[in-house]
Amino acid sequence: MTLPTRSQRYWLRTLSMLGACSATTTSGTIYLFSTYGPALSRRLHLTSTQANVAAISANYGQLLSGPFFGWAADTLGPQVLSGFAAVGSFAAFSALAYTYEGSLGMPSWLLLAGYMVLVGLASQSANMAAVTTTTKNFKQNRGSAVSLCVAFFGLSPFVLSHVSSLFFAVGDVPDTFGYLKFLSYLGLCTSTAAALSLSVVGFGPSRRYRRDIPDGFIVDRASDTSSDLLGDSNSEIGDEEPLLAEGSGGSPTVYNATPKPTRDTNGVLSGDDTPAVLDPRGGADGIDYDTARELGGMSYLRDPEAQLLALVLFLCAGIGVFYNNNIGTIVNALYFSSTDDPDPSAAQRLINHHVAVVSLGSFLGRLTIGAITDLGKRFWGLPRSGILVAVVFCMVLSQIIAGAAETLTTLLLGSALTGLSYGFLFGVMPTLVSVWFGTKHFGSNWGMTTVFIGFSGQALGAFFGYVYDANMPDQDPSKCARGACYRDAFVLSMGVALLGLLAAVVLARRRGDRRRENRRLWEAQEIEHIEYVPFILAE
């Protein structure tokens, strides 16, 4: 079978990236509940607790299905997942629209929660198709590529909330039915486009030179760059071919296909086929010691670092879920309690504005954190685990500001910082999973890492609903002066964020120990390092 040329792979990756961005546009609709949820709650006469359960049901549908859709992305490919996302998104938002209109009657709020579960399933299906494909298509600057892909996940609510304000929140009563129908057709179109363009292109053949490397290490096939730097060679080895084989004693055995270059009396490398020298500031000789182990399945679940990473995501991402689902209630409380002549359409536009700010912050966070991680690692040697600690600290700060806000202006700052830190978190986490645990099982690993986020979001949302309902039994937001009716809920979210920060610090210390051990193992072999070789520990 003829392999595609480098130019063909480039254009296929570009088309696939466009499809991934289209797919994550569908995924981002899960964060739009605050733009239509308050109107839907009024029409169906829901309490704050019932509305929270309905909203969090979408997150349950998204996150609990992560392991399945991750496995499907690894095995079935992105086209099948994108097709499901197209049908599921269209069906879910159509059902919500006709429920609001009354064509489907006025069902119990539990049936409404079922529709939201389908919204979450469609979102996860599209997201897994996009992120898994992007991770497997890019080896250099993977953090930036994944960040660009997931950035549209955050940008989608920003754009669509403005669409709601410009076209559907006009007149005396917002056109919620029209807005929900628009979302149904949008999901159908964007996911169909993704199904037609997404494909795993792969990295192509590698022209790297086999050479002596220390016992216990193999070349990281997903990070090797020599094929982009060396000229044509008559001896090519595929990206999936390891450089070590198991010896009879069970220990890795080094084997070489080409002689190791030697130095003359002046210290100059001799030989016609001299490998290029790279220095990405990963270590004294250019080695990246913050490297991957190819883990999947139970070995991934049992790994302490994978568990700590999932714990950080469980605690901190749940805060973002809770805030996204309740920003509408928070804005209504601050607006109606500070205005003598409230306007429902004006309140809806304010809600849309805050949703847009959260979304824009999430977009910018997702877009920039990959580049920050790549450049920080390459030029300044900043550990990725240290960047994760800084991200979690931003989440702590966001909850302090949002919880203390007594005006919509101050709340806007809290919304921006919450969105930014949430975007940072989801922009860096997929990169950490792929770099630390390999790309072979990335879809399944990422799905298992995100599966429990819904529970923390549910707990925080339920506590928010309990606090709000206890202080506002008549559900009248005009009586919630300066946010006093829900402030206690932010005390809990700040505590959860601090626990996440503690887990991130523990993880950073473990990763620091691993980097030092990797360097010790590498340098103990006294190998003459002549080129940059990313490596992974041989299991």
**87 falls in which pLDDT band (50, 70, 90)?**
very high
pLDDT at 523: 67
Mean pLDDT to the nearest integer, 19-43: 82
372: in domain? yes
230: in domain? no
Q: Which of 51-55, 102-106, 164-168, 313-317 has the lowest mean pLDDT?
A: 102-106
CATH number for position 363: 1.20.1250.20
Q: What whole-number distance in Å separates Cα of residue 77 and Cα of residue 473? A: 49
Q: What is the pLDDT of residues 188-241, one digit of tens each?
A: 998 999 888 888 775 554 444 344 455 455 444 443 333 332 233 333 333 333
**75 falls in which pLDDT band (50, 70, 90)?**
confident
Q: Quick one: DSSP state of residue 380?
A: S
pLDDT at 522: 66
What is the average pLDDT value for the chain, to the nearest integer?
A: 76
Is residue 174's pLDDT more than 50? yes
Domain count, the chain: 1
Greatest distance between any 2 Cα atoms in the chain: 88
41: in domain? yes
pLDDT at 231: 31
Q: What whole-number distance in Å separates Cα of residue 382 and Cα of residue 376? A: 5
SS3 for 270-329 is CCCCCCCCCCCCCCCCCCCCCCECCCCCHHHHHCHHHHHHHHHHHHHHHHHHHHHHHHHH
Residues 6+ apart with CB under 8 A from 389: 501, 504, 505, 508
285 close to 278: Cβ distance less than 8 angstroms: no
pLDDT at 122: 93
pLDDT at 296: 78
What torsion do the CA atoms of 214, 217, 221, 223 make, to the nearest 10 degrees? -80
214: in domain? no
426: in domain? yes
pLDDT at 490: 92
pLDDT at 117: 93
Q: Name beta bridge partners: 219.
A: 535
Mean pLDDT to the nearest integer, 413-434: 89
Q: What is the extent of the structural domain holding 471?
A: 6-203+295-517
367: in domain? yes
534: in domain? no
Residues 6+ apart with CB under 8 A from 475: 47, 48, 469
Q: What is the pLDDT of residues 454-496, one digit of tens each?
A: 678 778 888 888 888 888 877 778 788 888 888 888 999 999 9
Is residue 262's pLDDT more than 70? no
pLDDT at 139: 66
116: in domain? yes
Q: What whole-number distance in Å separates Cα of residue 258 and Cα of residue 370? A: 36
**For the whole prediction, is pTM greater than 0.75?**
no
Mean pLDDT to the nearest integer, 393-411: 92
Q: What whole-number distance in Å separates Cα of residue 210 and Cα of residue 119? A: 49
